[in-house]
Structure 1
Amino acid sequence: MNTNEYPTHRLVKSEDLNHHGTLYAGRSAEWFVESGFVAASSILNPKNIICLKIHGMQFRTPVKPGECICYTSKTVYAGKSSLAVYVKVARVSNLESIIVDGFITFVHVDEHTKACPHGIVIKPETEEEKLFYKRASELGR
């Protein structure tokens, strides 16, 4: 299965700031997971997806109020019952310069919230997809 990228745009407002006047990491984490969920729910029923873990969300540069940022998510790996989504964040004015990136592991669950197989197979095609597939496959180790 080949997967798509899903962009989500955000305007950083005063209520999104920390005491230093930059984007609060907690707010960014919320948007990060939300963006990842969009990608995961494009493949699986959203009612059967839970977030297990955020991997490696580290800021490279601060984000100031009034800046527009874009969270781009893509499902890059499928385990037996899990999906790994890669999320990158960049300013809309400079999409090539990544502010923060990382992976999120989501788990496919049944009506009792027990992990269950989803039957999804991700086949990376490009060199970038192969790199993210490899990195994501090593997250659980």
Structure 2
Amino acid sequence: MNTYTIVRMEHLNHHGNLFGGQMLKWVDENAWLVAAKEYPGCMLVTRAMDDISFRHPVPVGSILRFDARETHHGQTSLSYSVDVWSDEPGATEEKLVFSTSVTFACVDCEGKKAPIPPRGGTKPGACGD
């Protein structure tokens, strides 16, 4: 699934390019959104980010495409490969600027590991129901 955002001035570092911490925040958020849509009712928390690779600087005005694809479905965790592509101002094609793997754990109301349902399936209601 693809999601998008635009790089604005407030996202830049002291070199005038996208701040790496902002990229990590967006990757975590966008991967979580994809996982949450694919596993409705599952309470997911980020467990790890692995193989982080910042490939190119990203200038202001770039439109970023986050391509998150499930790579692992365990009993209580999911992993997604995330590639970030940049459509920079004036460019004629996208460029791969970042990649990583994000792992989420499914938890219950007490924060303990919980089983992950089949993709598109549902779990019992949220805490307090």
TM-score band by shorter chain is: 0.7 to 0.9
| Structure 1 length-normalised TM | 0.75
Report which of the two has the higher share of helix.
1
Could you list the per-position Cα deviations for residues 17-47 of structure 1 after superposition, in whole angstroms to 9, with x for gaps in the alignment?
0111100011101110111112211222366
Larger CA Rg, structure 1 vs 2: 2
Structure 1: which 4+ aligned runs deviate by more than 3 Å? none
Question: What is the identity, as a one-letter code, of the residue corresponding to 2:93?
Answer: N
Number of aligned pairs?
A: 115
Q: 1:26 to 1:18 in 2, by over 3 A?
A: same
Distance 1:100 1:68 in 2: 13
2:9–2:60 contact (8 Å) kept in structure 1: yes
Task: State the identity %.
Answer: 25
Question: What is the identity, as a one-letter code, of the residue corresponding to 2:3?
Answer: T
* Equivalent residue, structure 2, for 1:104: 102
1:9–1:71 contact (8 Å) kept in structure 2: yes
Could you list the per-position Cα deviations for residues 50-97 of structure 1 after superposition, in whole angstroms to 9, with x for gaps in the alignment?
0111112211110011111111112221111000011100113533x3
For 1:58, what is the secondary structure of its paired residue? strand
For 1:29, what is the secondary structure of its paired residue? helix
Task: Report which stretch shifted further, 44-53 or 34-43.
Answer: 44-53
For 1:28, what is the secondary structure of its paired residue? helix
For 2:46, what is the secondary structure of its paired residue? strand
Distance 1:78 1:45 in 2: 15
Distance 2:48 2:41 in 1: 17
* Equivalent residue, structure 2, for 1:79: 74
* Equivalent residue, structure 2, for 1:68: 63
1:39–1:85 contact (8 Å) kept in structure 2: no
| Structure 2 length-normalised TM | 0.81
Unaligned ranges ≥5, structure 2? 120-129
For 2:4, what is the secondary structure of its paired residue? strand
When the two chains are superposed, the root-mean-square deviation of aligned CA atoms in Å is 1.6
